[in-house]
Structure 1
Amino acid sequence: MPVAALATVAAAVAVVAGIATPVATSTAAAPAGVTIVAGDAETTLSAVRVDGANVKFQGLTVRIPAAGEGVQAAAESTSGDLSITVSRSADGTVVVRTDKHEYAAASSSQAAPESHVAQAAAASTARANAAKTCTDSAYALSGWKLSSFKWYYNPAGAPAAVRAGAPASISAATTSLTRACGKKSIKLAPSYGGATAAAVQVGAAGNCTGNDGRNVIGWRAGSGRWLGMTCTYFKSINGRKTVTGTDTALNTQYKFFTSAKSCSGAYDLQSVVLHERGHSLGLNHVSQASHASAVMTPALAPCSVGKRSLGLGDYRGLAATYGVR
């Protein structure tokens, strides 16, 4: 059932590059008396479908949460990034935010080594606009905080090419969240809970399937065009959004690598995980054209290991949320 926007009724606030800016909010028709509201000016409700208790956008699906709760599905694909965030206020109003970033081949605003079409016999360490990595301070926030980051790894279904190296790459990406550009360490203390048989609660089609309160990363034979997808659940407590569970799935229909020694059309596991971890911790996407060196841009080329560490903007967003030591 398509959801059509009816009227602009209010103003909301979005945080982009650390600066609050006013945005328009729209109401929309919805089934069973549920009121759907667009949370920002970038969200077009005509592109959103409500199917019973499910809200769908560009192949991503989340269930309408309980009052005071929310969920985000964020996917990094071979052609860009998608996300949908659905939250429900105490009065039952459902707020929807969508985000879509696409990128193409190298242009004047994108360095060739980070082009989607780049292929190499050996993995490239180049980073788009590398000179700006520690000078570009732009970031965007989702508005939530993960107070305790104990995570687990489910190795089931791991591709043979990365089975041995995956735990170390995932751990390295997670550790990289705490530092960047010679700055003070961020007050994050990710801890590894060990291997688990608990399922990653991300469906093959790009749907968030539930929240068991355990932060699991693992593998899924996805049917969508996504490299990695993260489902994050949160609650609003005393006006603050706190994460209650966040799972990340890595799509085995694509090839990954963990060693920078060689590559043939595969994607760097550590870089994909670092981007998805950013979503779990409350970072949103920033513009590829303007902030190409940031981890939270959509561009990740095959055979590139150029984004295994945070840029200054990524760091500043996490520091603003969690503080520094």
Structure 2
Amino acid sequence: MRNLLTLRSISAPAISVAALVATAAVTAGIATAPATFTTAAPAAKLVAADAETNLSTISAQGDNIRYQGLTVRIPAAGEGVQAAAQSVSGETSITVSRAADGSVVVKTETETETADEHAEAQAVNATAIRPAAAKTCKDAAYALSGWKLPSFKWYYNPAGAPASVRSSAAASISAATTGLTKACGQKSLKLVPSYGGSTSAGVQVGAAGNCTGNDGRNVIGWRAGSGKWLGMTCTYFKTIKGKKTVTGTDTALNTQYKFFTSTKKCANAYDLQSVVLHERGHSLGLNHVSQAAHASAVMTPALSACSVGKRTLGLGDYKGLAAMYGVR
């Protein structure tokens, strides 16, 4: 939905124009502050991107915008950033973009399971098929975030990997990433991810659930996160001729939770491949679909412990990617 709510001006103590341009652009590492942009430019305004986004739930402090434990820096004009965090019972995301007139457009989303849905999901054991498996290749529902990757070369930083998956994590992450290209007997997507190898470059996702910057490299790795998230993805994009193009996307996996790559002897752990496939969907431009209505989709917001049921895309996940990237 694109209905905009009434604009709300931010008082000078909360956000200054100079700070928005110079500090947000340079510190975030996603742009160089335009030399011609001065304090005489229009005052920054928070704008809700849809009717579901309640600006009163957002905290704007200096160059940062916070929502439900997630923090992003306000980007430069024509650019944007999304923080999306998957938890054991749902997901939270905030997307912030900045228009040429100074408007800071914000979209928030919080999706959680009901108590009954969560209890049912957690009862699924490691050998079970995905929920509503009969619908996996029949349910064509999907939702889009509005951006695309021009290409997807990615890197893995193994630092901090839990001992239980240290030797198998790279293969599992690679399988999840490769799994983005096909599903349900359909044609392969034109976009083909390529692995750039192991890297020491840091994952630009902070422990507290904050997007820390954009170095232009697409890195996945580990973080001892203090927030209640299994995986978190920070995606940066730039609007060019009305189209949003990704300039960098990083994913952190939270070592405060247990992960597994083999289904043997699972005890309150989460399938690494399933978590990564979901986070990769965010990077490529997929958004969430209803947990209750589309339980078989990878892009539902929650994942049950010990379930390997979402290691492959559902038809709707695939259809969404095909709509953006085309097929061979």
Equivalent-residue separation in structure 1 for 2:296 and 2:81 (angstroms): 28
The amino acid across from 1:98 in the alignment is: T
Shift of 1:188: 1.3
- 1:286 alignment partner, one of 277, 285, 289: 289
In structure 1, the residue matched to 2:165 is 162
Equivalent-residue separation in structure 1 for 2:111 and 2:266 (angstroms): 26
Equivalent-residue separation in structure 1 for 2:307 and 2:115 (angstroms): 15
1:84 partnered with 2:94? yes
Shift of 1:104: 3.4
The amino acid across from 1:289 in the alignment is: A
In structure 1, the residue matched to 2:322 is 319
In structure 1, the residue matched to 2:45 is 35
- 2:3 alignment partner, one of 23, 27, 34: 23
- 2:60 alignment partner, one of 32, 50, 53: 50
Shift of 1:189: 1.1
Gaps of 5+ in 1: 1-13, 15-21
- 1:72 alignment partner, one of 59, 77, 82: 82
**Secondary structure of 2:222's aligned partner:** strand
In structure 2, the residue matched to 1:8 is none
In structure 1, the residue matched to 2:123 is 118
1:99 partnered with 2:109? yes
Offset from partner CA, 1:89-119 (integer Å, 9 cap, x none) = 1111110000100013445xx893xx1x336
- Aligned residue runs from structure 1 range 124-143, under 5 A: 124-143=127-146
Shift of 1:262: 2.6
The amino acid across from 1:243 in the alignment is: V
Q: Does structure 1 retain, via aligned residues, the 8 Å contact 2:189–2:322? A: yes
In structure 2, the residue matched to 1:235 is 238
- 1:195 alignment partner, one of 178, 194, 198: 198
The amino acid across from 2:5 in the alignment is: T
**Secondary structure of 2:52's aligned partner:** coil
Offset from partner CA, 1:172-229 (integer Å, 9 cap, x none) = 0000000011111111110000000000000000000000000000000000000000
Shift of 1:78: 1.5
Number of residues of Structure 1 aligned to a counterpart in Structure 2: 298
The amino acid across from 1:28 in the alignment is: R
Shift of 1:34: 1.3
Gaps of 5+ in 2: 17-42
RMSD across aligned positions (CA): 1.4
- 1:298 alignment partner, one of 296, 301, 305: 301
Equivalent-residue separation in structure 1 for 2:127 and 2:228 (angstroms): 23
The amino acid across from 1:322 in the alignment is: Y
**Secondary structure of 2:138's aligned partner:** coil
Q: Which has the higher strand share?
A: 1
Structure 1's consecutive aligned runs of 4 or more residues displaced over 6 angstroms after TM superposition are none
The amino acid across from 1:179 in the alignment is: K
**Secondary structure of 2:276's aligned partner:** helix
Q: Does structure 2 retain, via aligned residues, the 8 Å contact 1:119–1:265? A: no
Q: Does structure 2 retain, via aligned residues, the 8 Å contact 1:111–1:128? A: no
Equivalent-residue separation in structure 1 for 2:67 and 2:115 (angstroms): 25
Equivalent-residue separation in structure 2 for 1:24 and 1:322 (angstroms): 28
TM-score after normalising by structure 1: 0.89
Shift of 1:302: 0.2
- 1:262 alignment partner, one of 236, 251, 265: 265
Shift of 1:124: 2.8
Q: Does structure 2 retain, via aligned residues, the 8 Å contact 1:119–1:264? A: no
Equivalent-residue separation in structure 2 for 1:135 and 1:119 (angstroms): 22
**Secondary structure of 1:313's aligned partner:** helix
**Secondary structure of 1:157's aligned partner:** coil
Shift of 1:29: 3.1
In structure 2, the residue matched to 1:171 is 174
Equivalent-residue separation in structure 1 for 2:85 and 2:78 (angstroms): 24
The amino acid across from 1:23 in the alignment is: N
Shift of 1:167: 0.3
